[in-house]
Chain A
Amino acid sequence: MQIIRYTIILLATIILAWLLPSFYHLLSDTSGRNVFTYYSSVDEAFCSIKFDEKEDRLIRYNVKTKKEYSEAEFDSILPMFYYRQLLSDGRFPDSINERAISVKEINSRNFFYRYNAKDKNTPAIPIYTLFESFSGRVKLEMPGDVFRLKNKIEFINPETNRVDKVKSERFMRVFVQSEFQFPAKGVFGNPSTRKPYDEGYMIIDNEDQIFHLKMVNGKPFLKNTLFPKSINPAFISVQEPADKSFYAFVFDDSNKVYLITADNYKVVQIQTPEFEVNKDRLMIMANPLYWNINVISSRGKECYALSADTKEVVDSLSLLAPAEYDFTLSNILPFELRFTTGSSDYIKPSVRFATWWVLLTNLLLIVTFVFIGKRRNKQVQPFELIWIGICGIFGFIPCLIFKE
């Protein structure tokens, strides 16, 4: 029966290691710094907005010169971001720093891209919708079938739940004739009708080659993008930008980001601040002159401004808060068990350990446990002492309350 008691203690320890730190976080957590920042094409510096609690107002300012602006001035400093307001006020400029600019150009080259680690770390059903990319219609329409792609490609009609053999064979022939190596490792697309056009899917084959699959006039289009062999793609985010200048962002297994351009699938590396594909968020706010690359992590935000043409870094900004020292998490709670994270939809246990100083706390708990045992005239077992020594407060509580 002792073994069952140990099992109860073990289970209670696991539950406490999960719940106690969770409650502690509920009481103590504060939000990370994620203020608005944008690279000014007029000032050629990062600008930001902060809230002044003393004066109870928003302060708009140039981060480099610390110069403050009124709301109207700020619109003019960031014409690529506030161009609708400038247009409405009749203040939209003809040129910025001697470069001619038009609203049409801004409309076609401005885009926002958001990547959250959850986009990658999420359970998905491997069934995909391939739209007709040359339908001649303004609005995309559902194609009437879906496909699966692992060891072969098969189209399934949802109304009958049967494989469309003719279409499947037509597409399979193209795969066989190409250098595509089955099984497919990953299929990435943007299966939404709320987009201007469809660029189909980027598919990683068994040799980490990236292929582009589309349906044009009902016929298959499959092309090897000749992605560099030195890069191991881990995740692809297919995009359909208004100016049709690129196809997708590719994230590799060493946390680098690449762009597959529409210029014959030329690959360009996008410089980013330190970025972890499986943890952090990436936001790209692009305009015809500069791309704002923002990496948002638990520590705060880091920004790069890239030249839109050359993709070279022209400026950077770090808004990282110094790592906070938490006495309880470092010295009282020996570890922290988590099953959920903001960067994944999967339920998975993960453990974060405290500092070695926690062993001192554990030792104090052992002494307390022995003292309580003696007062209650109860025998202290070696298992209990070892368990409290390892698990600290999480072991101490169950050993105490489940004592015979």
Chain B
Amino acid sequence: MEKALLYKEWKKTHVFTLTIGVIGIILMVYIMLKLGRSFRMAGMEHLWDVIVNRKQFLFRNLKYFPIATALCLGMAQYFPEVIQKRIKLSLHLPLPEKKVILLMYSYGVGILTIVYLLQLIALLVFSGINFPYEFTINALLTIAPWYIAGFITYLFVAAICLEPVWMRRILITLLAIALIYLFFLSDVPAAYQSVNYLLVVALVMVFPFGFYSVQRFKEGKQ
């Protein structure tokens, strides 16, 4: 049953999933080619100087990729469920509803984790070859809020789509926009380094919001 449910998610979103994966890889290749060009044109010493002393972040093109992919995947996964009321069918399966939602979550979060990990590995390898570990640590601290924001975006999309009342949807959307904006307050590399754990706490807090929406859906809130 679980496998069938996951297969249903795959059937529903495979075009989006593959597109996200391909765009993620193309983006990393583009960043590496662009940086390779900078290495040749300006030289590594100049580039290192720019990174350290002028606080330029070389992987800034990644900034909105996590939330954009999370938004697309979440919409692809949950929007049809709501529009066509298919969620009713899913919730009537001989599985606890929490498990059904958890499986849907697992699929989305799993896909995002794979795409994000691919990018992370590419970044680690590229940075490890070209820069000292201090640069790599700084890069990881800089991108961490963007990727946590990606997961939070996905969870909010699920909660908003599954929520049955329009007014509540709008309010949760406003809450989501404000919370995600909090992850993009600064362009200074590693500005969030002392609060990254708080962003993880926010992620944990948002995780169950979808279950609450489903509960309200089941209770027939209008």
B-binding residues in A (CB < 8 A): 1, 4-5, 7-8, 10-12, 15, 18-19, 122-129, 142, 144, 146, 148, 156, 158-159, 161, 191-192, 339-340, 345-349, 401-402
Which of A15, A126, A158, A348 has most chain B Cβ within 10 Å?
A158
A158 touching B48 by the CB < 8 A rule?
A: yes
B191 touching A11 by the CB < 8 A rule?
A: no
B49 touching A345 by the CB < 8 A rule?
A: no
Q: List chain A residues, Cβ under 8 A from B46.
A: 142
Main secondary structure of the interface of A (DSSP, over half): loop
**Partner among A12, A127, A142, A161 whose Cβ is within 8 Å of the Cβ of B129:** A161
B132 touching A127 by the CB < 8 A rule?
A: yes
Q: List chain B residues, Cβ under 8 A from A122.
A: 55, 188
B215 touching A192 by the CB < 8 A rule?
A: no
B179 touching A11 by the CB < 8 A rule?
A: yes
**Partner among A124, A161, A340, A349 whose Cβ is within 8 Å of the Cβ of B132:** A161
**Partner among B172, B175, B185, B211 whose Cβ is within 8 Å of the Cβ of A340:** B185
Distance in angstroms between the alpha carbons of A339 and B194 in the assembled complex = 12
Closest residue to B133 on the A side, CB-wise?
Answer: A148
CB-contacts of B183-199 with A (<8 A) = 185-186, 188-195, 198
Q: List chain B residues, Cβ under 8 A from A4.
A: 208-209, 211-212
B206 touching A11 by the CB < 8 A rule?
A: yes
Distance in angstroms between the alpha carbons of A347 and B178 in the assembled complex = 16
Asked whether any CB of chain A lies closer than 8 Å to the CB of B138, the reply is yes
A340 touching B186 by the CB < 8 A rule?
A: yes
Distance in angstroms between the alpha carbons of A128 and B134 in the assembled complex = 11
B53 touching A8 by the CB < 8 A rule?
A: no
List 19 A–B pairs whose Cβ atoms lie within 8 Å, in order of A's numbering.
A1-B211, A4-B209, A7-B208, A15-B179, A18-B178, A18-B182, A123-B141, A123-B188, A123-B190, A123-B193, A125-B138, A127-B48, A144-B45, A158-B47, A159-B43, A161-B44, A345-B191, A347-B186, A347-B192
Q: Please name 10 further chain A to chain B contacts, defined as beta carbons within 8 Å, in addition to the given A7-B208, A122-B55, A128-B52, sorted by A numbering.
A: A8-B212, A12-B175, A123-B193, A126-B134, A161-B129, A161-B130, A346-B191, A346-B192, A347-B195, A348-B195
Q: List chain B residues, Cβ under 8 A from A10.
A: 205
B138 touching A123 by the CB < 8 A rule?
A: yes
Distance in angstroms between the alpha carbons of A125 and B171 in the assembled complex = 40
Closest residue to A192 on the B side, CB-wise?
Answer: B53
Asked whether any CB of chain A lies closer than 8 Å to the CB of B202, the reply is yes
Assess A127 versus B135: contact at CB under 8 Å? Given A345-B191, A347-B191: yes
B191 touching A129 by the CB < 8 A rule?
A: no
A148 touching B45 by the CB < 8 A rule?
A: no
Asked whether any CB of chain A lies closer than 8 Å to the CB of B131, the reply is yes
